[in-house]
């Protein structure tokens, strides 16, 4: 594999994450999906520990089930559907990051983490709400790891030849609080052949709550296409089984 120009790869693979979070040049559909996700995110957050009268809860469930009917799919879907066509037509690749479970503004599961990219440092800013609670008042360790995967996954793009997460080591130093603005830092440290080494930390003010080391392995970009095609085949198989 020849060494790509790092700056070009940054532009092609990293900055879409940052651009995806800007509010510029959004189609009406993307704007509406972001509004829906924001409303959904707030609803899920407010539902935790709700004070709604127990006698009203069934009525609320009825309303939600009726709303859910409007979004029902006839089959499982991938947020990457149509990606190849959009890319070939010069479409905006950043639209796909709208659906990321960590940074996606159109994904209600995403906290979301806001990504900034400096010369050498990736900074993620996030406030985890009650839905991410593990220990009382603190972020579940699995979500701490997921946040590192996203931020270190962005930092590895500084290598110029990004890939997939092969290994993620997390040291939980002190409980990571909910409802507090946190800073997640990620750095690319070195590259050895296809192996890309990164490290990061989570800060609550001056307190380091967690540290991580991530190993990424450069992959051929066609691997993403193979993954998408494998998904399509699986779904087609499931549909044939249902028929
Ligand atoms: C366009 C939008 C894209 C958005 C993408 C967002 C991604 C966000 C980040 C993720 O969440 S990725 C999802 C989680 N990761 C995975 O699902 C990856 C699953 N694993 C794999 O697919 C393969 O194992 C992998 C591509 C990582 C590596 O397989 P390969 O067959 O390409 O490599 P190989 O096994 O030959 O290993 C290459 C080198 O890495 C080393 N290596 C691989 N896995 C390792 C490991 N786990 N620990 C330590 N070293 C490891 C391996 O020893 C070897 O070292 P050497 O070159 O020194 O011989």
> pLDDT digit string (tens) for 142-192?
999 999 999 999 999 999 998 999 999 999 999 999 999 999 999 999 999
Residue 215 CB less than 6 A away from ligand 1: yes
Using CA atoms, how far apart are residues 150 and 107, in angstroms rounded to an integer? 15
Mean pLDDT over all residues of the chain?
A: 87
Q: Is the CB of residue 129 less than 8 Å from the CB of residue 51?
A: no
Report pLDDT for 165: 97
Q: Tell me the pTM.
A: 0.89
pLDDT at 180: 98
Going by DSSP bridges, is the β-strand pair 182-192/163-172 parallel, antiparallel, or unpaired? unpaired
Percent of the chain's residues with pLDDT above 70: 86
Of the listed ranges 160-164, 184-188, 206-210, 212-216, the least confidently predicted one is: 160-164
Percent of the chain whose pLDDT exceeds 90: 61
Nearest atom (ligand 1) to Cα of 96: 2
Supply φ then ψ for residue 3, to 5 degrees. -75, 120
Give the Å distance between the CA of 70 and the centre of ligand 1.
Answer: 39
Which tops the pLDDT comparison, 121 or 11? 121
Q: Which residues, including other chains, have CB under 8 Å from residue 125's CB and lie 6 or more apart?
A: 113, 114, 116, 181, 182, 183, 184
Q: Which pLDDT does position 85 carry in this prediction?
A: 56
Asked if residue 146 has its Cβ within 6 Å of ligand 1, the reply is no
Cα-to-centroid distance, 166 and ligand 1 (Å): 4
Q: Which atom of ligand 1 is nearest to the CA of 167?
A: 47
- pLDDT one-digit tens code per residue, 57-105: 999 999 999 999 998 887 777 777 666 555 555 556 677 788 899 999 9
Output 39 or 10, whichever has higher pLDDT.
39
DSSP state at residue 8: H
Mean pLDDT over 36-52 rounds to 93
At 96 the three-state DSSP class reads helix
- Indicate if ligand 1 lies below 6 Å from the C-beta of 22: no
Least confident of 26-30, 138-142, 156-160: 26-30
11-25, 77-91, 174-188, 211-225: range with lowest mean pLDDT: 77-91
Q: Is 243 exposed, middle or buried (0-12, 13-18, 19+ CB in 10 A)?
A: exposed
Q: Is 219 in the pocket of ligand 1 (CB under 6 A)?
A: yes
Name the token pair of 110.
Answer: 């995403």
Substitution candidate for ligand 1 out of 110, 156, 164 with most atoms within 8 A of CB? 164
Token pair of 151 as six digits: 């931020």
Q: Return the higher-pLDDT residue of 135 and 81.
A: 135
pLDDT for position 22: 80
Q: Given pLDDT bands bounded at 50, 70 and 90, which one contains residue 243? A: low
Identify which has the larger pLDDT, 29 or 38.
Answer: 38
Q: β-strand 163-172 against 207-218: which pairing, if any?
A: antiparallel
- CA–centroid distance, 187 to ligand 1, in Å, is 18
**What's the 212 CA to ligand 1 centre distance in angstroms?**
17
Residue of the nearest CA to atom 32 in ligand 1?
219
Ligand 1 centroid distance, CA of 219 (Å): 8
């Amino acid at each position: 594999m020849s060494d790509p120009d790092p700056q070009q790869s940054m532009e092609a693979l990293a900055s879409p994450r940052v651009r995806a979070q800007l509010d510029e040049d959004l189609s009406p559909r993307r704007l509406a999906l972001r509004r829906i996700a924001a409303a959904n995110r707030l609803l899920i957050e407010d539902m935790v520990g709700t004070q709604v009268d127990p006698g009203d809860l069934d009525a609320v469930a009825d309303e939600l089930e009726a709303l859910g009917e409007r979004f029902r799919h006839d089959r499982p879907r991938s947020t990457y559907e149509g990606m190849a066509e959009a890319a070939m037509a010069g479409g905006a690749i950043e639209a796909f990051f709208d659906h990321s479970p960590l940074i996606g503004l159109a994904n209600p599961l995403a906290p979301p983490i806001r990504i900034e990219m400096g010369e050498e440092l990736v900074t993620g800013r996030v406030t985890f709400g009650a839905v991410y609670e593990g220990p009382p008042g603190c972020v579940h360790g699995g979500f701490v790891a997921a946040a590192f995967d996203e931020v270190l996954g962005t930092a590895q793009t500084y290598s110029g030849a990004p890939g997939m997460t092969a290994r993620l080591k997390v040291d939980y130093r002190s409980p990571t609080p909910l409802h507090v603005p946190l800073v997640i830092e990620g750095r690319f440290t070195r590259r050895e052949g296809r192996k890309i080494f990164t490290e990061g930390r989570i800060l609550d003010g001056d307190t380091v709550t967690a540290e991580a080391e991530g190993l990424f392995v450069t992959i051929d970009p066609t691997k993403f296409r193979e993954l998408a095609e494998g998904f399509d085949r699986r779904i087609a198989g499931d549909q044939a089984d249902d028929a």
